[in-house]
Each structure stands twice: as structure tokens, then as C-alpha cells.
Structure 1
Amino acid sequence: MSSSTALLPKDRKKDDHKSLVFWRSLVAVYLFFSFLAILHFEFEILNERWEMIYNFSNIVYGLQTLYAIITAIWTFMHLYYPHHDNNSTFCERFFSPPRSNGNTKNKYFFSVFYYLIVTFPHIVTIIYWAILVPRSKTELSGETGEIIVGNWWYCKFYIVAKYGINSFIALFELFYLSSIKRPEAFHHVTALGALLLAYVGWAAFGHYHTEKYCYYFLDHEEIGWNYYWSCVAGFVVLGELFFIFIYAVTGIRESMTKKQADDKNTGYQRLPQ
């Protein structure tokens, strides 16, 4: 493993590296336990069952949690166990980032994973506040006042964590926790669009399984086929617009930090190493 990755850039001081380990660990712990609290709220209070695994916001939050755990472990290992070889223990090799000569496809997939993590939480947030709340189509809209009042603080935490703090963490990752350079945009636009379309298919399967949709605008029975395909296209376009926004903000961050990319072709070219 080299002395620098996008998780621990070499131009940071060691104290900054320790701070980075602290913040990544804190984010990972928060996301893990808040995700458990969110699932518990939906299971015990909203009485949801299989619907939870078809919920777009749950999928994104789960992936965001997974990313935070992986990067926290990699950052810790890179700082405290920066070099490993055949004499290293299995745990050291297993939990360390792959070497810089790793598979290019793996780097590309992780790059897509990263841009999913810093893009999709904003899709979840904007859909909730700009579309679902004004039309009273949220998961809490059909609940009785007794349930909401009886779990008032839990409801507030649920909403703020799932549809607010998630976006803040995505921006925190973008501006402070990583130093990832902009990739070639076309392949990422295609990949993220394909993932959004894959979710549309997953939501349709979920409707077949549970007879419910996470988002009403993906329910062709409610809005009609005439509007369904327009909504699907809008859903994908919204995701692409947020990717363009994140891509532009990444460029601004690069200008602010005055860092030059060695190679823009691999996206996450400085991680793993």
C-alpha cells in the first residue's frame, strides 16, 4: 500500500490524518446506528415489512452506511498499518485497501459507488421535500395523530436523519473527507442512469410483491401510463442533474484546494492503492 490515497492524501499532516480517521469513524458509527433506528421505526411504528427493502431512501441510506464503514476501516488501516506484505496477518490484508495495481474495473466500480453515495442522498431529499411533502404522500401522511404524537421525537429524528442529515453527510464527504478527482463523466452518467432504471424495475417488482410503491409517481395504476414514462424519465434526469451538480462542485473543490489530477480516466484513480 502506498503512502497516499484519496482517503489519506499525502499533503495532509499526520494530525489531519488522525482527524480524518476520527471523522470517518464518527460518520460510520452515526450512520450505522441511525439506520438501525430508522428501520426499527418503520418496522415497529409504521408496521412496514417487506416494503422496507423496496424503499429507495432505505436502499440509498444502507449503501451510504456501507460506504462509510468501508472507508472508515480503510482509512484507519492506511494510517496505522500503511504497509503490508506476505508476512502480514490475514486481518491486515483483508481490511486494507487494495493496492494501486488493482483491477481497473474495480476502481471504476468503486468510483461509481462513490458518486452514487454523494449524489443519490440529494435525490432522496429533494423528492421528499419538493414532491412528497406538498402532496401529502410521505410514509407518515396516512398515520393517525395518536401514532405521531406518541412518538413525536422519534418521528422528528426519523425525518431529519433520513431526509436532511443524509445530504449533509454526502456534502461533508465531498468537501472534507475525500480528495477524489473528477472522472470521465460519460461512463458515470451512463452507470448512474442504469442504476436508477434498475431501481424502477426493483420498485415494480416490489409492487408485485407488496402491492405498494415507495413513490406514488412510479405507480402506473395511480397516475396512468400516459404520465408513468414521463415520471420515470424525470426520475432518471433528476439523478443525472444531481450528478452534474456534484461533478461541478468537485471541480470547484479541486480549484479551491489547487490539486491537480494525474489521470482523470479512472475516476477513483487514487483509491484504492
Structure 2
Amino acid sequence: MDDLFNAQPYDRLITDDAQPIFLRVCHSPWSFISQSTLVSVRAAIVTYLTVLGIMLWYYKTGSEIHVLDEGGKWKEYSNLEPIFQFSTIAFLYLWVYHVLTFCWAFAHLNYRGISENDNRLGAAILRWMAPPALPTDHPDRFSFSLFFLETHVYVLMNAIMYWAVLVPTGHDHFPKDEPTHELFDSLFGHGWFQPFCIISLWGITALVAIIEILFLNKIKYPVPASKHLLLVAYKLTAYLGWAALGYLVTGRYPFFWMSRKEMKSGEAVMASCAGFVATGPLVSGLVYALIYVREQHSQ
């Protein structure tokens, strides 16, 4: 820990190849994004996500997210439903990731010259915010690598499933005066608040994830890849259990394809659940591809 707070920048004490993953989120791989610019961008993202989170909670627990049943009548909605929704979990992962990386990048930019013996409040806060200085074999390094992959897989899956599955099948989570599959009317017929929440939760957050992977960190391929992919699939399987618990608590599944009544057969439900879990490793491949593009073209 002493090395972290001496007068030399910590990243100059080690080669780039040996740089721990916690420091890789403190630097952009692109020469046109300075460290101070990166911190400013991370601050803006954290601010946006925090304000958006407050708005989304109001949106999800209010009447805005009520959905229509097959007969065009309003379904009864429980305010507990948001905690079981995949979109909520994906958003929370993204928010926590960006709070962590902002703290680490801010402290990494400002800790130069701070001593472990400096008892001032500002120094203590910077030490608390600093990226962890852990040995190369510490399990937390793998844990953060998995967290990085999970965060971006979940956010991208959230957007893909919404626009490719839920919207075309009429199972989107925003109100309509009457059942309709017209996307424009559904989005923009109820003022600005609902479209902003919908586009942010199922669109802009995915854009933030892509920008993060391509421009805002130097994280290398999560390895071993097989272990990462298996754990992503395992976590998605665990989510299905959480979603089933949500049905017991609220009386409705987070996704229509988990309902035997909606899907008409148990086999269709099982196939849909298997497809959901399999999507995780597939989207992980997209994350790996984006990392490859960044590593090939960044300078």
C-alpha cells in the first residue's frame, strides 16, 4: 500500500502488461483521452446514472409501467416487482461498476504525494477511494474481472431482449391507451418522462456499456474465458430462480416467456429459459469482440 501513495505515480512502477485490473479502469487506451478527461467522463456517467436511477425507481413503482393483459385491461401491479426484473439488476450492476471506477480513477489521479501518515480528511478519503493494491494471485482480481464481464453482458442482454423480443411481441413495459404494436405511438404518446426512462434503461445504458468497453478502460480479455463464461451462465440460471421467487411474491413473472399460460406449454418455457441462459455466453462473445477491436486500434 505504501507504493500506492508515494510521490511516483503507481502505474509507472510496473509495466503495462503487469498492470492490475483495478488500475486498468483508471486509464483510457486512447491517447486523446487524458487521465483528467477520463475522470470527468466517469463523473458525468455516475451523475447521469444516479439521477436516472431515482427516476427509474419512480417509473417502475408508479403507474407508468403497468401493462395490459391479453384482453386489453390493466393488470394489477405490485411495487415489489422491480426488484425481480432483469432490467433493474442490470442497471444496478452498471451503477455500482461506474461508482467504483470513478472513485478509483479520481483517487489515482489525485493521490500523488500523499503519505500514509497524512491524517488530513482529504488524504483519508483518497486512501479509501484508491484502487486496491493486491497481490497478483488475490481472488479479488478475478472477482472484479467477472464483475466487469457480467455488468456489460447484462446491460447488453437487457437492451437486446427488450427491443428484439419484448417490443415485437407486445410485451414492452410501458402503458398504452389501448393495445398497439406501434412503437412510436407507445413511446411518444405520453409526454417526455416515459420515453426518457424507456430509452435510457433499454438503450442509453447499452451505449454507455459499449463506450466503456471501447474507450474508458484498458482491461484485457477476461481469462480464463471458459471459467468466465460458465459463471456468467450460472449467474443467469440463478437469476431464473430469483425470477421464480418473484412470481411467488408478486404473482407475475418478470418475462412473459417464463409463464406456462403465456407460452402454452412447459416445454416452451424450458426452451425459453435455456435460450436466456445461452444468450449470456453469446453476448460475452460480443464483449470479447469489442475488447479485441479496442486493443487492435487504440493508441
**TM-score, structure 1 length as denominator?**
0.86
Larger Rg: 2
Tell me the distance in 2 between the aligned counterparts of 1:214 and 1:38.
16
Q: Which amino acid aligns with 1:43?
A: T
| Gap runs ≥5 in structure 1 | 259-273
- In structure 2, list runs of 5 or more residues that go unmatched: 5-9, 13-22, 65-76, 179-185
Which of 182, 199, 222 in structure 1 is aligned with 2:262? 222
- Cα deviation, residue 252, structure 1: 2.0
Amino acid paired to 2:276: F
Structure 2 residue 193 is matched with structure 1 residue 160: no
* Mapped pair 1:182 → 2:221: yes
Trace 1:94-109 onto structure 2 (pairs within 5 A): 94-101=128-135, 104-109=138-143
| Aligned equivalent of 1:191 | 231
1:175-226 deviation digits (Å, cap 9, x = unpaired): 1111100022111101111111111000000001101111111223432211
What's the TM-score once normalised by structure 2's chain length?
0.79
One-letter amino acid matched to 1:191: L
1:14-93 equivalent positions in 2, closer than 5 A: 16-46=34-64, 48-82=78-112, 86-89=116-119, 90-93=124-127
- Cα distance change, pair 122–13 in 1 and its aligned pair in 2 (3 A): closer
Measured after TM superposition, the shift of residue 12 of structure 1 is 7.0
Is the 1:3–1:10 contact (alpha carbons within 8 Å) kept by the matching residues of 2? no
- The Cα of 1:239 is off from its aligned counterpart by 1.4
Cα distance in 1 between the residues matched to 2:188 and 2:36: 42
In structure 2, relative to structure 1, the CA distance for the partners of 1:42 and 1:16 (3 Å cut) is: same
Match of 2:18 in 1: none
**Aligned length in residues:** 256
CA deviation map 1:125-157 (0-9, x unaligned):
11111111111111225x436x98784211110
Aligned counterparts of 1:8 and 1:73: Cα–Cα separation in 2? 9
1:144 corresponds to:
177
Deviations 1:101-137 (A, max 9, x none): 2762111111111111222111111111111111111
Shift of 1:65: 0.8
C-alpha separation in 1, matches of 2:158 and 2:32: 36
Match of 1:267 in 2: none
The residue identity in structure 1 corresponding to 2:26 is: L
Q: Is the 8 A contact 1:3 1:82 kept in 2?
A: no
Contact 1:42 1:48 in 2 (8 A): no
Q: Which one has more relative contact order, counting CA pairs under 8 Å at least 6 apart?
A: 1
- Identity over the aligned pairs, expressed in percent? 26
Which amino acid is the alignment partner of residue 57 of structure 1?
A: S
Query: What CA distance in whole angstroms lies between the structure 1 residues aligned with 2:46 and 2:271?
Result: 37
The root-mean-square deviation of aligned C-alpha atoms, in Å, is 2.4
Where 1:3 maps in the other structure, the secondary structure is helix
Q: Give CA deviations for 1:17-49 in whole Å, capped at 9, x if unaligned.
A: 000000001001101111111111122233651
